[in-house]
Each structure stands twice: as structure tokens, then as C-alpha cells.
Chains A and B, each alone.
Chain A
Amino acid sequence: MSRVSRRVVVRGLAVAVTPGLAGCTLEGDGAAPAQDGSSDPVSPDPDVALAITVLSEETAALAALQATRSLHRELGRELSPMIASHRAHVSLLSRAAPEGSLPRASSRRFAVPDNERAARLTLVVVEQDLGSVQKRAAAAAKSGAFARLLASMTASSAQHAALLTAEAGDRDAGGAA
């Protein structure tokens, strides 16, 4: 598949929700063939719905990381790069979502555990849950380019979960020694 910039990936989705332009997704640039060859001018591109779903989960994960960093300042260096990654994901996905469909950041409250290790392990679950949503969306995406983007986000969440798990384990082992 040809490499496409994030601008092209997002523009492809944004264009697809415009009535009369549905079907102007990324199949034309060598991405995976559409699962449904029709181009119904009144149906929003199904990938936009996927983008909104993943965006909602990304926004919630970002809020969880930020809340944890606020309560556990000592985790700042560890969590800040992860927060930056999620911000990049949210920024990209936001451009694909139609006006008015963006999830509100305050729609869900996240309870941060007081214990540092418990806070890390809670974030592991957050990242794993997010990764599951991203993976399902990547598997279902009509556009190959968008699937590639979502798969990359899936891998990013898995990296975060692995780092948080390792750090929680290391600290635990260190404390027990």
C-alpha cells in the first residue's frame, strides 16, 4: 500500500461524510478494497463511525492518564510521553469526526487509586481496553489507510500497557527486596 500522510487519511474520512461524496475514501490510493462496493450518497462512511468510537475511548484514556499524573506527580516523567501520544491520536481522530460528534472530555469520571502501583495497574487496564477497541476498529475499517492508522494506535496502546506493567512489577519487586 502506498504510504499516505495523516492529512490524506483524515481528509479521506472527512470528505466521505459529505452527501454526494460518500465513497471518496482511500480505496483509490491502493488501500484495501471496500467491503461494500456501494456508494450510498446519504449514508455516512462507516469509517467515520469507527473514528468517533475510537475517539471517545481515546479521550477517556487521555483523561485517565492526566488525572493520574495530577494525583501522582512522581509519575510525571513516565506518563507524559504517553499523554503526548494520546493527544496526537485525539488530534488526528478529531479531524475525522464531523462537527458536533466530538465526545465531551468530562462525560466520564475516572477514579485514580491513591496507591501508586494500583494507579499504574489501573492504567494498564485502561490501555488494554482502549487497545481492544482500536483493534476491532482497525479490523473493521473499510479504508486500508485508516485501518493502518488504527492498527498503529493499537500498537501504541500495547506499548503503554507493557511499560506500565513492567514499571509496576519492577517497583513491586524492588519494594519486596
Chain B
Amino acid sequence: MRPVQALQVALAGEHAAVYVYGVLGGRVSTSADAALSRRLILGYTRHRSRRDELISRVRSADAVPVEAEVSYEVANPALTSSQLERAALQIELRCSALYADVVGSTSGADRRWAIDALTDCAVRQLGFGGSAAPFPGAAELA
């Protein structure tokens, strides 16, 4: 995959992540589950920031950034705290895989940035009930 293609795929993933995090954040009870609410807000903020960074990187490569879809499917009904956590975990697992692919398809500053993004997604998984894995983002290596 060409570097800009990998960035575009990651950008498409971040569009979805921002949308889903927005849905999840709107459904969590800030009073009944303040800790989860904080984690969802942090996740939303971080993914929105990375989406914007990806748009900038794609433009720097003289390409037109992929646009967001009108809507995205949430992984489950996302009604209970447990479902909200699992949906957020799914986002982080998917983004980890996308950034691992960006690492493999780029070099220099783009690669270094993607390593940090992969690491952040991997650590964020732990806050949503995920387990440490031998090869985050590259499960087929296990």
C-alpha cells in the first residue's frame, strides 16, 4: 500500500471513530458512570485530534482527504455501560490495526506518528476492558 493510501484508510477509520465516540458519549450517564464518561470524552477528543492530523498529512501528500460517511454502525446497542465499553474497545482495536498498517506503509515522520497513535490506541483499550496482547494491532503475529 502506498503511504498516502495507508493514511487515507486510517483517516476513514478515524472518521468512524469520531462518529461512534460521539454516539457513545451521548449515551453515557455522567452522574452514574463518571469514570466511563471521562474515558469516552478523552477518547473522542483524541480521535478527533488524530482525524484532523491525518487530514493535514494527506493534504501534505497532495491528495484529497477522504470524507466522512453520513453515519456509521455502532458495534452493539450501546445502551448499558458494558455495551458502551465494548463498543469503545472495538474502536480502539480497529484503529490499532489501522495504525499498525500505517507504520508498515510509511517512513520518517508519518511512521513515527503512527507508532505513537498505535501505542495510544493499545493503551486506551485497557481502559475499556481490553487485555494486554503480545502484538497489539497485529494479532496475526501471535
Binding site for B on A (CB under 8 A): 1-3, 5-6, 9, 30-33, 35, 81-82, 84-85, 88-89, 92, 131, 135, 138-139, 144-145, 147-149, 151-156, 158-160, 162-163, 166
Contacts and interface: CB of A to CB of B under 8 A. Distances in A.
B140 to A, nearest CB: 6
Interface of B: 1, 3, 6, 96, 99-101, 103-107, 111-112, 114-115, 118-119, 121-123, 125-126, 131-138, 140-142
B122 A155 contact: yes
A154 B118 CA distance: 9
Given A147-B111, A159-B126, A1 B101 contact: yes
Nearest to B125: A159
Given A88-B142, A151-B119, A159-B123, 18 more contacts: A1-B101, A32-B104, A32-B107, A85-B134, A89-B134, A139-B112, A144-B107, A147-B104, A147-B107, A148-B100, A149-B138, A151-B104, A152-B135, A154-B119, A155-B96, A156-B122, A163-B126, A166-B126
18 contacts: A1-B101, A31-B105, A35-B107, A81-B132, A82-B132, A85-B133, A88-B135, A89-B134, A139-B111, A147-B104, A148-B101, A149-B135, A151-B115, A152-B138, A153-B135, A156-B135, A163-B132, A166-B126
Nearest to A91: B134
Given A139-B111, A159-B126, A32 B138 contact: no
